[in-house]
Amino acid sequence: MLGKLLRGESTQVPPELPLAFSLAGERRLRIQKDYQPVDAWRFLSHHIRRHPQDLRAHTQRILLAQHESLLDRLPGSLQDAFLALDNAGQLLRQRLLELVGEDLSPEDKTFFTEWMKQDTTPAAGSQWRKGSLLTTGQDHVTARLLHIERSQETSQYTDVMEEVFACLEYGQIDTARELLEAEMLAGNTNENMEQELVNIYQYTRDREKLNAMVKHLEEAGHEVSALWREKQQESEHW
């Protein structure tokens, strides 16, 4: 019997797992069509309500909302991702808008495009859109009464590079750069960190920040390696 199961000769159909088991472990950003779109979207909504900073779930939910039965909830789903990212994750927000832009109304597309040009959430970002979970429904942005910073003790990452790679995976390139810059300026650095930070400057074609970092290192008395000098020369052609 066990041999048949291992060889795949069993004709029994495996039991259908509930979404709490099957969809919770889904790592693909674009959910496959074997899920019921509305049920899957509701499951992801429930998850985001509990974990509003889960960018993978936000991305899955937005791409899922491109289904014809969920199109009216697409703007609200995208709005939640923008709210979760706040003024970070510029490249991720831009990529998401590119992926779903054709399914948005001209008004919504213009709204999210203008949102990305601002440093803070616009007042209209607090107005509720169908499908949104994180909006307040107010006509103006409320001031934060409390700002919580995550301490190293509560971090889920064992070191800075692990967090940097996680940020890069989710498209949070700005956050990854800031983490590496802070380590560099604090003197807690190595060749891998330097190489990754230089790669980010090159990928984003940010010559200004590259030169600024070199200047900060020199002013702090840190030795500037040949890697930085070479990249400065290359940046003249970016």
pLDDT per residue as tens digits for the range 201-219: 998 889 999 999 898 888 8
**Residue of 38, 44, 2 whose CA lies nearest to 20:** 44
- C-alpha distances (whole Å) from 87 to each of 13, 95, 115 are 48, 15, 9
Q: Which residues lie below 8 Å from residue 62, measured CB to CB, with a gap of 6+? A: 74, 77, 78, 81, 96, 99, 100
Q: Write phi, then psi, for 44 (nearest 5 degrees).
A: -65, -35
Q: Is residue 132 part of a domain?
A: no
Nearest Cα residue to 100 out of 89, 112, 90:
112
118 with 162, same domain? Answer: no
Q: What is the pTM of this model?
A: 0.54
**DSSP string across 89-133:** -HHHHHHHHHHHGGGS-HHHHHHHHHHHTSSS--GGGGS--TT-S
Q: Judge if 226 and 117 occupy the same domain.
A: no
What is the SS3 assignment for 51? coil
* Same-domain pairing of 115 and 215: no
What's the total number of domains in the chain? Answer: 2
The domain of 27 spans: 2-126
Rounded to the nearest angstrom, the gap between the alpha carbon of residue 185 and the centroid of all alpha carbons in its chain is 25
Residue 78's pLDDT is what? Answer: 96
Is residue 120 domain-shared with residue 8, that is, in the same domain?
A: yes
Q: Indicate if 122 and 164 belong to the same structural domain.
A: no
pLDDT by residue (tens digit) across 6-64?
Answer: 455 445 544 454 554 466 667 778 877 578 889 889 989 988 988 888 888 899 999 99
